């Protein structure tokens, strides 16, 4: 009888330990991604500034949305850049959960300065490498060509982006009312990851990008690339066809 009682007590203790362990077990984790949005705030962005900011907010809303697949835990870092006696690089949102995003507005930041694109690429890559996410998307939004970098050359910027591509991270360029991707291609971008966007389609394009980012995060897609449907919706051909677009938008005037 004593033996049976001891065995019963041991079984009860084991069952209690199992219940206790289950009670403190961590809930299943969702796929995760960290998006780094690098927004050109140079002077030539002024005519489309409201649309640019709205599109960043649309991207955050899209990442937070539960539509279109399983939930993804998405953090967002937003940085803006220009040049005034050197690179001006300001992080407006640092690793903010998309669920807790509060809209960025023109009360926080406004267009000015020139276009140190290579310098800004170096800085955003440094932020991402410091965070060390498993999956990341770097989104570069600009309306002009490089014209004032002092810290990074084209070769150095390409090397920085090559490092993150080697990690399996995605890099996407959006030309906001701009279709000259010589700088993007110069830093190793493939055409499938570059797209010109009409200002009235910026929010739609960034919402599409949010879904693509989530698909990449949860394994539904191996990469983040633009397709023919995305380009038609972005009115890419209209942007390309506008007279003087590349020249007028490339200067980044103060």
How would you classify residue 139: left for phi > 0, otherwise alpha for psi between -120 and 50, otherwise beta?
A: beta
Is 170 in contact with 176 (CB distance < 8 Å)? no
pTM: 0.86
Report the chain's mean pLDDT, rounded to a whole number: 88
**Is the pLDDT at 14 greater than 90, yes or no?**
no
For residue 28, the model assigns a pLDDT of 52
| Token pair for 155 | 């070769």
Give the pLDDT confidence of 177-192 residue by residue, as tens digits. 999 999 999 999 999 9
What pLDDT score does 92 carry? 98
Name the class of domain 32-250: alpha beta
Predicted confidence band of residue 249 (pLDDT cuts 50, 70, 90): very low
Q: What is the largest CA-CA distance in the chain?
A: 97
- Tokens describing residue 183: 């700088």
State the first-to-last Cα distance of the chain, in angstroms, to the nearest integer.
Answer: 92
Please list, in sequence order, all residues whose beta carbon lies within 8 angstroms of the beta carbon of residue 31, skipping any fewer than 6 positions away: 70, 72, 73, 135, 214, 217, 218, 219
Tokens representing 241? 């066809």
Helices (H), the chain: 2-23, 49-64, 117-131, 154-166, 182-186, 202-217, 228-234, 236-241, 245-250
Q: What is the pLDDT of residues 105-147, one digit of tens each?
A: 999 999 999 999 999 999 999 999 999 999 999 999 999 999 9
Strand-pair partners of 87: 83
Q: State residue 70's pLDDT score.
A: 81
Q: Where are the domains of the chain?
A: 32-250
Q: What is the band of 244 on the pLDDT scale with cuts at 50, 70, 90?
A: low
pLDDT for res 183: 96
């Amino acid at each position: 009888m004593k033996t049976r009682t001891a065995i019963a007590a041991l079984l009860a203790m084991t069952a209690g330990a199992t219940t206790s362990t289950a009670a403190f077990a961590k809930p299943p984790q969702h796929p995760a991604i960290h998006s780094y949005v690098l927004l050109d705030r140079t002077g030539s962005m002024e005519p489309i500034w409201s649309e640019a900011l709205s599109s960043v907010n649309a991207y955050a809303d899209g990442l937070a949305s539960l539509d279109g697949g399983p939930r993804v835990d998405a953090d967002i870092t937003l940085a803006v850049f220009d040049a005034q006696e050197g690179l001006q690089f300001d992080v407006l949102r640092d690793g903010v959960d998309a669920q807790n995003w509060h809209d960025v507005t023109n009360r926080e930041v406004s267009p000015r300065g020139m276009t140190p694109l290579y310098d800004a690429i170096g800085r955003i890559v440094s932020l991402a490498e410091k965070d060390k996410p498993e999956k990341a998307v770097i989104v570069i939004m600009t309306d002009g060509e490089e014209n004032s970098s002092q810290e990074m050359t084209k070769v150095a910027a390409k090397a920085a982006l090559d490092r993150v591509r080697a990690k399996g991270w995605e890099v996407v360029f959006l030309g906001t009312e701009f279709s000259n991707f010589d700088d993007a291609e110069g830093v190793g971008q493939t055409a499938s990851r570059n797209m010109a966007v009409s200002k009235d389609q910026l929010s739609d394009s960034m919402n599409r990008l949010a879904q693509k980012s989530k698909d990449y995060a949860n394994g539904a897609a191996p990469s983040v690339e633009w397709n023919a449907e995305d380009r038609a919706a972005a009115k890419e051909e209209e942007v390309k066809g506008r007279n003087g677009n590349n020249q007028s938008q490339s200067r980044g005037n103060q």
